[in-house]
């Protein structure tokens, strides 16, 4: 099947979330966090609970036999999905995070002080923190692939490989930038390092992002271990896969102890079960395994090459559109990218933009994406991430780009001049703000737009940005100062967020230049509710407004 024959409309109809009345206009671009689920996956989970709900392996009744058969059938499917040599090489985990913790604990338990683990700056926290914990516990050394502005240069992996290298654990695709390494080149460098230094460092691939976008063949890849999470590739949450070479899994000690993973237990020692069960302590998420089986069957019936080609067309269009906007800094590149657009506004708050897009029913994600070292090295504290899946359409991309341009055109007007050096600060002039105009806006988008215009009345005040003026509880940093003159109270505030400035301006229209009695008598919460702000703003944004209000009242004490 070629890309031209891929029907995104037919594919999207398989996902019932998009057919619900409240979601028919939804543009879902948060797929790197989690993908939506096709009907067959939902049906498989329901079917398990309706017809097969029982614990596995250690009971002979009919429901237990059926559940056991399902689990082992899905294990065979998973082995085929990853092209593993045997189902014995497939371990069910709660997700990639648990799988990486299992590997870190089991593999590092037999290393010697001074042995080395190689990672990269692009790793998800789940592929950093477990190794950091084991390095501290066992006196191991962490080394990192050389990088340029935080982006790993995987072709220079050989520079950090040596005789003490025991583990190389690298992303199969960055969740923050979408960057996909050249696996063949990594395999070559590891092979040459083995020939040069001897030893046999274990190569782990974190394929949490990779599995949704291309077929995986662990035999061709040549890795020793690979992990992935089903919810990233159209499957249920709470279940993931750990592939490991059978010889290595046999030699590894288990990580967790308990039921299902043992063959025999007495009071002083235990004998562990055979593969793969010695790594599967406790009761597995059986309904999720049933859903995983349906996911694997679903993907086996799709043209993965056509899906990937469709995604790449969308990804290229996204990058081309955002690259034309001077008000944003583009961090990702479309080449060697698994489906992520990452950028940051040149000025203002990424969180403001996220809320603006949410008002247009466009779902993106803002933050460090559990990749703080990479985002910091890029010179940002948070980025906007739009991530695609095969059910996304060209119309989704067009609507996203139009909403982004709309926001940025509004933001250009909203920039307020900085007032430098205000040890003796003056209140902002709020006389032009009309509460009636804000209340009269016909819909939430227009009211949000008006609120951002209100933010223009709040000037930048570098002099008040100090820890003692920082208001705790705001989603975006906000600073508030106060003074009293002749029984009247005056306030000034500042924030990086235009929306927080607008909310602050609303607050100050009710309290600035008023007596303490007038301020305490003002029913500001009712005003906030009457304007629809409590209903439409996120909980964190609402909490930020209330935090500003409390901070202002506390200054009256």
pLDDT tens-digit series, residues 400-417: 999 999 999 876 544 444
Average pLDDT on 128-142 reads 98
Domain at 41-300, CATH class = alpha beta
Average pLDDT on 94-99 reads 97
Buried b (16+ CB within 10 A) or exposed e, 83-111: ebeebbbbbbbbbbbbbbbbbbbbbbeeb
Average pLDDT on 66-93 reads 97
Q: How confident is the model at residue 242 (pLDDT cuts 50, 70, 90)?
A: very high
| CB-count burial class (<10 Å; 0-12, 13-18, 19+) for 290 | buried
List the single range of 386-400, 407-421, 428-442, 509-523 with lowest mean pLDDT.
407-421
Q: Determine what percent of the chain is predicted with pLDDT higher than 70.
A: 94
The Cα 276–Cα 157 span in angstroms is 32
pLDDT at 10 over 70: yes
Task: Name the pairing type of β-strands 90-93 and 116-119.
Answer: unpaired
Q: Residue 412: what pLDDT?
A: 59
Q: What is the mean pLDDT of the chain?
A: 91
Q: Residue 217: what pLDDT?
A: 98
Query: Which residues touch 10 (CB under 8 Å, ≥6 apart)?
Result: none
Catalytically annotated residues:
370
Average pLDDT on 455-470 reads 89
The Cα 360–Cα 445 span in angstroms is 8
Please report the beta strands in 43-102, taking only residues with DSSP state E, as ranges in sequence order. 90-93
Q: Where in the chain is the domain with CATH 3.90.1010.10?
A: 416-554
pLDDT at 185 over 90: yes
Q: Residue 5: what pLDDT?
A: 76
List the single range of 34-48, 151-165, 469-483 with lowest mean pLDDT.
469-483
| pTM to 2 decimal places | 0.84
* CA separation, residue 472 to residues 306, 340, 481 (Å): 49, 33, 13
Give the CATH architecture of domain 416-554.
Answer: Alpha-Beta Complex (3.90)
Do 185 and 134 form a contact (C-beta atoms < 8 A)? no
Q: How confident is the model at residue 262 (pLDDT cuts 50, 70, 90)?
A: low
Average pLDDT on 511-522 reads 90
Q: How confident is the model at residue 3 (pLDDT cuts 50, 70, 90)?
A: very low
Q: Residue 333: what pLDDT?
A: 95
Do 241 and 82 form a contact (C-beta atoms < 8 A)? yes
Please report the beta strands in 43-144, taking only residues with DSSP state E, as ranges in sequence order. 90-93, 116-119, 141-144
What would the CATH number be for the domain defined by 3-30+303-413?
3.90.1150.10
Q: How confident is the model at residue 283 (pLDDT cuts 50, 70, 90)?
A: confident
| DSSP secondary structure code for residue 254 in this structure | P
543, HSE (Cβ side, Cα atoms, 13 Å)? 9
């Amino acid at each position: 099947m070629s890309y031209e024959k891929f029907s995104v409309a037919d594919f999207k109809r398989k996902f019932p979330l998009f057919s619900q009345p409240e979601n028919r206009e939804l543009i879902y671009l948060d797929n790197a966090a989690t993908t939506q689920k096709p009907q067959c996956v939902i049906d498989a989970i329901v079917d398990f609970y309706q017809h097969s709900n029982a614990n596995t392996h250690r009971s002979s009744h009919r429901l237990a036999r059926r559940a056991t058969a399902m689990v082992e059938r899905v294990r065979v499917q998973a082995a085929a999905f990853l092209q593993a040599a045997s189902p014995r090489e497939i371990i069910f985990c709660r997700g990639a995070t648990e799988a990486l913790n299992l590997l870190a604990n089991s593999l590092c338990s037999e290393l010697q002080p001074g042995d080395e683990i190689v990672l990269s700056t692009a790793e998800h926290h789940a592929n950093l923190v477990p190794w950091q914990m084991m390095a501290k516990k066992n006196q191991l050394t962490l080394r990192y692939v050389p990088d340029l502005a935080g982006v790993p240069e995987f072709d220079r992996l050989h520079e950090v490989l040596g005789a003490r290298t025991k583990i190389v654990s690298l992303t199969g695709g960055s969740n923050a930038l979408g960057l996909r390494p050249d696996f063949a080149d990594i395999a070559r460098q590891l092979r040459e390092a083995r020939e040069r230094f001897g030893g046999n460092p274990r190569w782990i691939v974190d394929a949490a992002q990779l599995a949704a976008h291309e077929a995986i063949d662990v035999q061709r890849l040549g890795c020793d271990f690979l992990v992935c999470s089903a919810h990233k590739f159209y499957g249920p949450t709470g279940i993931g896969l750990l592939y490991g070479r059978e010889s290595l899994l046999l030699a590894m000690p288990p990580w967790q102890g308990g039921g299902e993973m043992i063959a025999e237990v007495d009071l002083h020692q235990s004998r562990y079960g055979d593969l793969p069960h010695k790594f599967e302590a406790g009761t597995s998420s059986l309904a999720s395994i049933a859903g995983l089986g349906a996911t694997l069957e679903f993907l086996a019936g799709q043209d993965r090459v056509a899906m990937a080609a469709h995604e790449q067309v969308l990804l290229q269009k996204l990058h081309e559109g955002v690259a034309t906007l001077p008000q944003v800094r583009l961090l990702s590149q479309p080449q060697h990218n698994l489906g992520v657009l990452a950028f940051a506004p040149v000025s203002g708050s990424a969180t403001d933009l996220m809320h603006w897009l949410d008002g247009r029913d466009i779902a993106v994600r803002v933050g460090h994406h559990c990749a703080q070292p990479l985002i910091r090295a890029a010179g940002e504290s948070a980025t906007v991430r739009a991530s695609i899946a095969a059910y996304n359409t060209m119309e989704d991309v067009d609507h996203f780009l139009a909403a982004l341009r709309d926001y940025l055109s509004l933001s250009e007007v909203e920039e307020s001049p900085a007032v430098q050096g205000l040890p003796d600060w003056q209140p902002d002039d709020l006389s032009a703000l009309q509460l009636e105009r804000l209340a009269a806006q016909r819909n939430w988008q227009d009211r949000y737009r008006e609120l951002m215009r209100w933010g223009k009345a709040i000037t930048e005040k570098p002099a008040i940005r100090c820890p003692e003026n920082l208001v705790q509880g705001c989603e975006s940093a906000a600073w508030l100062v106060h003074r009293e003159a002749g029984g009247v109270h005056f306030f000034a505030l500042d924030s990086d967020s235009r929306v927080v400035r607008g909310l602050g301006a609303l607050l100050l229209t009710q309290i600035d230049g008023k007596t303490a009695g007038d301020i305490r008598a003002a029913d500001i919460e009712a005003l906030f509710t009457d304007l629809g702000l409590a209903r439409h703003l996120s909980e964190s944004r609402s909490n930020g407004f209330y935090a500003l209000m409390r901070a202002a009242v506390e200054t009256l004490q």
